Amino acid sequence: MRVVHERDGGERTLATDVDLAESLLEQSKGLMFRDSIPDDYALVFRLHPPTWPLSRLLGDYGYQSIHMLFVRFPIDVVWLRGTEVAQVKTLAPWTGLGLARADTVIELPAGAADGVEAGDRVVVEE
């Protein structure tokens, strides 16, 4: 499994060591309590669209928040709608916060998402 950034006809691998946060516990824990992650690592959260009534007003993608409480190192976060990048942000350890509408969130080592911009395409290949 790998995470690939596609732009202007070219592609760049962002991560080859990829974990999926599938259970509620895995998604809640995220990268908390770890000392570090490898340079080629990604943690992918595939989230379900909201089922509450306001989702019809807000669109198909709910807001997905990321906090850095108990995360000891900076990370890059990429929010995706399908395969289109909605937002990219570097979050600081312990105090960082991020929020965007998305159905997939990818956490990477800080600097790994340099050059990735909203509107680009990022694919999680099985």
Q: Write the DSSP assignment of 44-74 as a string of letters.
A: EEE-PPP-STTHHHH-S--EEEEE-TT--S-
Would you state the pLDDT for residue 57?
53
Q: Phi/psi of residue 26, each to 5°?
A: -60, -40
Q: Phi/psi of residue 114, each to 5°?
A: -55, 130
Would you state the pLDDT for residue 45?
96
**What are the E-state strand segments in the chain?**
2-7, 10-15, 17-20, 41-46, 63-67, 75-81, 84-91, 97-101, 104-109, 121-125
pLDDT tens digits along 55-82: 545 556 678 999 999 999 999 999 999 9
Instruction: Please check whether residue 52 is in contact with residue 28, taking contact to mean a CB–CB distance below 8 angstroms.
Output: no
Rounded mean pLDDT of 31-37?
97
How is the chain split into domains, by residue range? 2-125
Rounded mean pLDDT of 2-12?
95
pTM: 0.90
CA distances, 75 to each of 13, 57, 94 (Å):
17, 32, 11
Q: How confident is the model at residue 48 (pLDDT cuts 50, 70, 90)?
A: low
Would you state the pLDDT for residue 15?
98
CATH of range 2-125; options 1.20.970.10, 3.40.50.1400, 3.40.50.170, 2.60.120.1140: 2.60.120.1140
Shortest CA distance to 31 belongs to which of 121, 109, 117, 123?
A: 109
pLDDT tens digits along 88-118: 999 999 999 999 999 999 999 999 999 999 9
What are the tokens at 108? 């990477």
| pLDDT above 80 for 34 | yes
Would you state the pLDDT for residue 21?
95
Query: Which region among 11-15, 36-40, 57-61, 64-68 has the lowest average model confidence (pLDDT)?
Result: 57-61
